Amino acid sequence: MSFLTRWLNRLRRGAWERDFDDEVRAHLDLRVSDNLRAGMTQEEAEADAFRRFGSVEEAKGGMRRARGLPQPSRRPAFVVLAAVAAAIVVTILVQRGPSYYRVGEDNVESPQVVSNPRPQYTAEAMQAQLQGRVALECVVQTDGVCTDLRVVESLDPAGLDEQAAAALRQWRFEPGRRNGDPVPVLVNVEFMFTLR
């Protein structure tokens, strides 16, 4: 392959990559606007848009395959990032714990998220292009604060797991209730770390 062909191919690939990015961005942007219109906060709207979209990298990989373009062997060195914490509180449907309740029995209502600061990306995770999910478990106490945090699904023990835990410690909940009274309730919270 001549230098010129290689160079032209690279240009062509670059144009496609920009197209893919623009297309994905237009989509996410429209979803965020619709979410905002539906009454979500900016954070909720963004998290929901990413959650519904699924993996951006996977979609772009699929588009490259569809166009017969090679997959990048090395990820781009510069990425604008967004740590997106999907505020997914998965309620647990099993039995009652010793010092807390689980949603789904005994008339226990799930705690509701009041404020959900985002986790931070770490420089190392960014450099390694690490993306994915961290699932945590904690007990939401009657004052709306999380205690007894535990990592249920780890992504990056020294880095993003810690960041997720630090964020969750700052989350505030409307406590869960049983027969109308606030009670401690065990919840699962999943954080999605996405680079874009």
Partner 1 sequence: MGLRSPHSPHSPHGAHSPHSPHSKDHLLGTLDLLVLRVLVGGSTLHGYAITARIVTTSRETLQVEEGSLYPALHRMEEAGWVRSTWGLSENKRRARFYTITARGRRHLADIEEAWTKHVDAVTRVLRHA
* Contact indicator for 123, 177 with CB cutoff of 8 Å: no
**40 touching partner 1, by CB under 8 A:** no
3-state class (DSSP) for residue 188: strand
User: What's the 3-state SS for 2-61?
Assistant: CHHHHHHHHHHHHHHHHHHHHHHHHHHHHHHHHHHHCCCCHHHHHHHHHHHHCCHHHHHH
**142 touching partner 1, by CB under 8 A:** no
Give the shortest CB-3-to-partner 1 separation in angstroms.
28
Cα–Cα distance, 22 to 109 (Å, whole number): 42
CB closer to partner 1, 14 vs 62 = 62
Q: Which of 7, 10, 14, 62 binds partner 1 (CB under 8 A)?
A: 62
- From the list 15-23, 77-85, 106-114, 168-176, the region that binds partner 1 by CB under 8 A is 15-23
**14 touching partner 1, by CB under 8 A:** no
3-state class (DSSP) for residue 73: coil
**22 touching partner 1, by CB under 8 A:** yes
Backbone torsions φ then ψ of 57, nearest 5 degrees? -60, -40
* Contact indicator for 111, 174 with CB cutoff of 8 Å: yes
Kindly state the number of chain residues that form the binding site for partner 1, as judged by CB under 8 A.
33
Q: Which of 39, 68, 70, 76 binds partner 1 (CB under 8 A)?
A: 68
Closest C-alpha among 181, 172, 84, 185 to residue 137: 185
Give the shortest CB-44-to-partner 1 separation in angstroms.
13
Give the shortest CB-143-to-partner 1 separation in angstroms.
26
- From the list 26-34, 35-43, 110-118, 154-162, the region that binds partner 1 by CB under 8 A is 26-34
Cα–Cα distance, 89 to 101 (Å, whole number): 15
- From the list 30-38, 76-84, 116-124, 174-182, the region that binds partner 1 by CB under 8 A is 30-38
* Contact indicator for 195, 129 with CB cutoff of 8 Å: yes
* Residues engaged in binding partner 1 (CB under 8 A): 19-20, 22-27, 29-31, 33, 51-56, 58-59, 61-63, 65-68, 86, 88, 90, 133, 190, 192
